[in-house]
Amino acid sequence: RQQMHMGDFVACIRTCEAALNTLRGRSEIRLEILSLAGLAHGMLKHYQQSYDIFSEAIALDPTIAELWHNRGLACSYMSRLAEAVRNFEHAVELSKNDTGELAHRFVLQLEVSRQELQDAMQAHEAGITFEQYLEREKCFVRAVNLMKQEKWQEAELLLRQLTEMKTRVASY
């Protein structure tokens, strides 16, 4: 925590990784360390690593609103707007009985995220639904992951599917 508060995010990640290698299973301390590591990666703009770490933490305990919120932030920074909205919705739902500042921040973030998603959907294609947009978003993420694995033909098929939809998204 001290490294995080001092802004030494690289050292924080190293410390967290070393601690996580010794801790197995589900425990409060493991969740705390995962959260710190996810935040440190986010501060360094390592959004995919942040996302992956918060996903692991959510798998251990899906009842912690802050984990959903922080994974939603990682999604936002990676332009996974529909997935971000879903994460922020979970955070708001889990904190619905809370009147504190953090719960209020979750609500505000959800509102901003929904507007960003609405704008992106309108730019994407007229009349597209949330579910259609989310499916295309997931398809694009799968294609990018396949490219990282050098599975070029599989990635090409997914990207061709996306481009055949006549969307106005340059990255497709």
**Which tens digit of pLDDT belongs to each residue from 28-38?**
899 999 999 99
125 or 1, which is more confident: 1
- Decide if 58 contacts 67 (C-beta within 8 A): yes
Which tens digit of pLDDT belongs to each residue from 97-154?
888 999 999 999 999 999 999 998 888 877 888 998 899 899 999 999 999 999 999 9
- Tokens 């996306």 belong to 162
Half-sphere exposure (Cβ direction) of 37: Cα atoms closer than 13 Å = 24
Residue 166 has pLDDT above 80, yes or no: no
Q: Which two tokens stand for residue 162?
A: 């996306």
Which tens digit of pLDDT belongs to each residue from 41-98?
999 999 999 999 999 999 999 999 999 999 999 999 999 999 999 999 999 999 998 8
Cα Rg for the chain, rounded, in angstroms? 18
**pTM, full prediction:** 0.87
Instruction: Give residue 128's pLDDT.
Output: 86
Percent with pLDDT over 90 in the chain? 76
Q: What's the rounded Cα separation, in Å, for the pair 51 and 77?
A: 10
Q: Give the burial class of 27: count Cβ atoms within 10 A of its Cβ; 0-12 exposed, 13-18 middle, 19 or more buried.
A: exposed
Q: Give the burial class of 113: count Cβ atoms within 10 A of its Cβ; 0-12 exposed, 13-18 middle, 19 or more buried.
A: buried
Q: Which two tokens stand for residue 120?
A: 């992106």
Confidence of residue 3 (pLDDT cuts 50, 70, 90): very high
